[in-house]
Amino acid sequence: MTRKLMKRSVLALGLGAASFTLSACDGVSFGVGYGYDPFYDSMLWNDYYHDHDVDIDVDVTRPDRPDRPDRPERPNPPARPKPPIAKPPSRPKPPTARPPAARPPIHRPSPRRR
């Protein structure tokens, strides 16, 4: 009798612990979208085409930097075909951008009950 009880309680505790462990692995819906993407933003910013005349005395071993590329000359684009969807009338833009709307997580089906 006690043996059976012990078996059952071990099973119950084990299953409980397992469910906690498994739920810890569940992907958290954190950082939905690209509100803050530090690595992407940083990869955009470069000093490569920037003039470094200021610290030329400090960095004597540094090889000469190639010239900064000229701004490409853009010819006037040809008249664009009119897309089927018209643009909405422009609204006055507030000076401060609105923060991204907090969306509730997508509903997940609840675990099947027995």
Partner 1 sequence: MHSLLSLGFRACAVATWLMGAQAQADTPVTYTDQGRALFRFEVPDFWTLRTGGPRELEDTALGDARAVSRVMGIRPVTDDNVWMGFVSPSRVSSIQGGLRYLEDIDKFLVKDPTVTSTSDTRIGGLPAHVVRGTGNRDGRGVNFTATVIDLPRDRVAIGVAILRDGADPSYVDALNAVFASFRSLQ
- Contact residues toward partner 1 (CB under 8 A) are 27-31, 34, 37-40, 42-50, 63, 65-66, 68-69, 71
Nearer Cβ to partner 1 (20/34):
34
| Smallest distance, partner 1 to C-beta of residue 25, A | 9
Backbone φ and ψ for 80, nearest 5 degrees, come out as: -80, 145
Closest separation in Å from C-beta 33 to partner 1 = 9
Question: What b/e sequence results for 16-49 when a residue is b if at least 16 CB atoms lie within 10 Å of its CB, and e otherwise?
Answer: eeeeeeeeeeeeeeeeeeeeeeeeeeeeeeeeee
Q: Toward partner 1, which CB reaches closer, 63 or 88?
A: 63
Element (DSSP H or E) covering residue 2: helix 2-25
Residue with smaller CB distance to partner 1, 8 or 52? 52
